[in-house]
Amino acid sequence: MPKQIDLVKKIVSLCKRRGIIFQNSEIYGGIGGFYDYGPIGSIMKYNLKNLWWNDNVIKRKDIVGIDGTIITHPQVWHASGHVKNFYDELAECKSCHKRFRTDLLKSDNKQISKCPECNGQLTKKRKYNTLFETHVGVIEGEKTLTYLRGEACQNIYLNFKNIVDSSRVKIPFGIAQIGKAFRNEVNPKNFIFRSREFEQWDIQYFVHPTEMDKWYEYWKEKRMNWYKSLLNNKDNIHFRQHTKDELAFYVKKAFDIEYNTPWGWAEWEGIHWRADYDLTQHSKFSKKDLSYTDPVTKEKYIPWITETSGGVDRTFFYLLLDAYQEEKLENGNTRTYLKIDPRIAAYKICVIPLASNKPKLIKKAEKIYKELSQQYSIDWDDSSNIGKKYRRQDEIGTPWCLVVDYQSLEDDTVTIRDRNTMSQIRLKSNEVSSWLSQKLN
């Protein structure tokens, strides 16, 4: 394995080389904190979000989903407290002029007072709000100042009453959403770990206040197990409870699920005890009754909320950190491969005709490709030599390569090569689909 310090650089380079993630606006020199997913990365990200959505919405009777807008009424951000409290403190180095979030300038939990890059003097810290401002309307003077959402979850509170009135949900129940959030971070860094535009997946789980403890513990365990199921190295994830002084302004208790990154343990998902804060605030500001009436007991109350809020891009990055493998081969070369969960890999199988100039091989391989691609995301490669094809597929994490060779023309079998072990098996071509379906379940 590469040294931890090099790992991020290697992943950034792999992502560019193989079309997983690109720096946004690269031809103009880039813009800090914005990234685009390429042809391979966009399929992987879609698979990842799909997995979360299936596990948390489709497969559960007690959770419904929404898909809300990025721009909302400006009052939302006053009610939520973001306009008043969503501040970071920054200091600038007087020598190299780099800016830093002062709350993150720590070493061994002690505050650092010098520039971590060049040891220069830092300016006094200043506060600034990390909400992105925008204006709705086209005529000067009539434009309304509002904000790109600083957290995706607000749409869930805004739609709480709509959902209770229009669906058959009964407490306890959850509302889930995957969506973009925007933060004008002081120093976006570590690739897509901290960016200015990113996606979050949130569940807001509404309960009776007396059941809060039980459900809070339930979600802590549930979310931890979900993330663990995606990791090769399960020792690289743990819980950390927030100390009183680091609790977000709206949270009474919080545990972070953290990942052991090359730069230390870092946040992955927050499990927040939000209680009645959000619905009470929006009730106050909108003057609408956001309480819930129990259909059996007729008790009327503001439900309490456990929030699970994680970063999609951050998950993507941590899974790359976990999956990246380098292996010395007998011939002295190094093989790089992504040992990523097959459900997330962009392609489940790459179909490869052994030679690109043999029409019979191509025809048979095309028939297999056509059949499999009706059901699965399948890649096709009839270029260059077989070693290069394997290298490309290993690097994008394709779990299996299917090779159509001369024996295939005689007995209708194909070889399946495993990404992790490089071992091969032979299967009848019409057995591949059911074999794959078992592997993916």
Rule CB under 6 A: which residues touch ligand GAP?
151, 153, 183, 185, 194-195, 198, 200, 267-270, 307, 309-311, 313-314
How far, in Å, are 85, 97, 243 from residue 127 at the CA level?
10, 17, 21
Residue-wise DSSP of 177-242: EEEEEE---SS-BTTTTB-SEEEEEEEEEEE-GGGHHHHHHHHHHHHHHHHHTT-S-GGGEEEEEP
- By C-beta, is 172 or 310 nearer to ligand GAP? 310
How far, in Å, are 145, 146, 168, 358 from residue 133 at the CA level?
7, 6, 37, 60
Q: How far is the CB of 86 from ligand GAP (least distance, A)?
A: 9
d(CA 337, CA 390): 10
> Cα–Cα–Cα angle for 201, 374, 49, nearest 5°?
5
252: Cβ–Cβ under 8 A, 6 or more apart, which residues? 273, 274, 275, 277
- By C-beta, is 52 or 198 nearer to ligand GAP? 198
Q: How far is the CB of 92 from ligand GAP (least distance, A)?
A: 20
Q: How far is the CB of 99 from ligand GAP (least distance, A)?
A: 15
Q: How far is the CB of 262 from ligand GAP (least distance, A)?
A: 17
- By C-beta, is 133 or 246 nearer to ligand GAP? 246
Q: How far is the CB of 311 from ligand GAP (least distance, A)?
A: 3
Q: How far is the CB of 186 from ligand GAP (least distance, A)?
A: 10
Q: Which residue's Cβ has the minimum distance to ligand GAP?
A: 311
CB 146 within 8 A of CB 74: yes
- By C-beta, is 179 or 353 nearer to ligand GAP? 179
- By C-beta, is 313 or 341 nearer to ligand GAP? 313
3-state secondary structure 300-313: EECCEEEEEEEEHH
Give me the residue label for tokens 């979360």: 52
| R_g of the chain, CA atoms, integer Å | 25
- By C-beta, is 290 or 432 nearer to ligand GAP? 290
d(CA 67, CA 333): 47
Which two tokens mark 293? 């009436």
Coil, strand, or helix at residue 134?
strand
CB 36 within 8 A of CB 47: no
Q: How far is the CB of 205 from ligand GAP (least distance, A)?
A: 13
Q: How far is the CB of 193 from ligand GAP (least distance, A)?
A: 6
- By C-beta, is 198 or 400 nearer to ligand GAP? 198
d(CA 74, CA 88): 20
- By C-beta, is 263 or 406 nearer to ligand GAP? 263
